[in-house]
Every structure is written in C-alpha cells, then in structure tokens.
Amino acid sequence: MRVVFLGSQEIGEACLRVILRGGDEVVGVGTFEPAAHEAWTDGVAGLAREHGLHRIRGRRFRTAAAIRELQDLKPDILFAIGWRWILPPEVLAIPAKGCLGIHGSLLPRLRGFAPVNWALIRGEAETGPTLFYFDEGTDTGDVVGARPFPITDTDDAATVRARLAEESVALLAEHLDGLRDGTAPRTGQDHSRATIAPRRRPEDGRVDWSASPQTVVNWVRGLTRPYPGAFTTLAGETLRIWKVAEAFESLEPGAFRVAADGAAYAGVSGGAVRIVDATLGDEDTRAEKERAFGALSRGGRFES
C-alpha cells in the first residue's frame, strides 16, 4: 500500500523502519527538527535521505498547497507517529484506509500532551502505546490495539520513553498486515474513562517543596533526562534536580542541608527527600554537578 509517514524522534524512526521492512511504498515523509530544549536526533530525516524518500513540506496542513501535495501523493494510509500537530479534516479525508497514530499512553487515559511525563508525575501504575485512528478530536479516535506495561518504582522518564518506543514497534508490526487487508480491530474509546494530559513547557518544572515526598519523587523522575528537568532556585541560579529518593529525615519544606556522610537532603511536607543528582546552571556536566553539591553543602533554603 502507498504510505505517507509523518514523524520524529526515536519512536518515529523505529516505526518508519517497520513500514519500510514490510515492503510498503512510502510515497512521502514529513518530519521536523528538535527544539532547543529537546535532546533527540532527527532519525526520520536520516531514513528519508537513506532511502531517497520524498520529503513533505507541510506541518499543520493549513494551506491549499500543503493539502494538494498530500492529495497528489495518493496515499492509501497515513501514519503520524511522534507528530505534534492535529491533522485537519481535509487531511483525514485523503487516505482511503485512514490516518493513524501511536499515542504514548493507554487511551483514553492521558489524552493530549507529554504522556510520558504525566504518567510518572501522576503515579500511574501502568502505561503503554496505543495505535488508533485519528478523528477531529484530540486522541479520541477508534483504537486498533495497545501494549500495556507496568511502571515500576525504578522507572523514570528515560526508561519509560525507551520502553514505549520498543512496544510501539511491536504494536505496529503486530497490526500492519491487518491494516493492509482491512482486518485490523477497530474499537471505539470509552470517553467516560478519559483523562487529560495538558501541555508542558520547560518552565513548568519548578518543584513544589510543600508537596509530599512521593509527589516530589514522581515530579523529578517524570521530568528527568532527556527532558529539561525539575528545578528550583539556589543562590540566584537554577538548580536542576535529576533524581531524588524518599528519606528518613525531617526538614522544613524548602530547607536543605548536607549530612556528615555527604548526603544532601531537602525538606518537603511531612519529611524530606535525598537529592541524588543535580546540576547548578545551564550545563548538564560533572563540573556543574560538583558546583551544585558544593552550594547545597552550605545549607539554607531554596528561593521561590
């Protein structure tokens, strides 16, 4: 079948490889570069160059020229995986077999933005990718399939993101034949069970030290590398906190100290957390980590 593929990041690259291995004719590829605060490589663009695939110029497909380019490609099906923009009705109507995407949560839970981050922040017990048909809503279309997996106490944004990419590849490979011949499942979502994941920006990562220990642990592990990180302010600089753990200590929320054994603690509501990994300033380097723990060793309070 003739495929248009829109995608980015590791998940997009891996899923495009599945489609190429399946022997389908990829007639057009759309992608985009990471923003300044993002840490991923544009593997989709590299695959397009390697295979000599036609590059699509459109992003939001709001212009007649962008719509016409898609129409002229005559795709049977369109996949958007790692794509940031909602496809307009004019695009949804083009492929006879529909437009599909993979969302990084178990729909209808966590519809919307940043499902990796929100699953951890909210303490979800499990997550997984969902392969679904696009409609005019946000992640509201019929579901082809999903691959759930548990979120463990040792997981963070990096491990969940990697597992999602791995399971997404398996999910697409499982259903690609059925999508070709029209036998793939198609089940409507139970909209009464839906939860929403709002858009996140790097500046939304400030730690609330008045929250409970588990809430702070989830906040930090949900925003850690490869994302910009949770943060607070120390001595007028941004302290990025990459990992914390619950601790049997008692400090006032927002206070911090370093114990005799060198462990750094920060007070939260009803206890404290141990700061395991942090950097001070804009660079995520060993020098900035040493500077962070040097500043913490002086004790005091984080600035609001």
Q: pLDDT tens, position by position, for the chain (304 residues)?
A: 999 999 998 899 999 999 999 999 999 999 987 666 666 677 899 999 999 999 998 888 999 999 999 999 999 999 999 998 899 999 999 999 999 999 999 999 999 999 999 999 999 999 999 999 999 999 999 999 999 999 999 999 999 999 999 999 999 999 999 999 999 999 999 999 999 999 988 889 999 999 999 999 999 999 999 999 999 999 999 999 999 999 999 999 999 999 999 999 999 999 999 999 999 998 999 999 999 999 999 999 999 7
**Strand 230-234 to 196-197 pairing:** unpaired
Where b means 16+ CB within 10 Å and e means fewer, 75-99 reads bbbbbbbbbeeebeeebbebbebbb
CA–CA distances in Å: residue 100 to residues 54, 76, 291: 20, 12, 47
Q: Which H or E run contains 34?
A: none
Query: Quick check: 273 and 266 in contact, CB under 8 A?
Result: yes
How far separated are the first and last CA of the chain, in Å rounded? 56
User: What pTM was computed for the model?
Assistant: 0.94
Q: What is the predicted pLDDT for the residue at 33?
A: 77
- The two structure tokens encoding residue 237: 């600089």
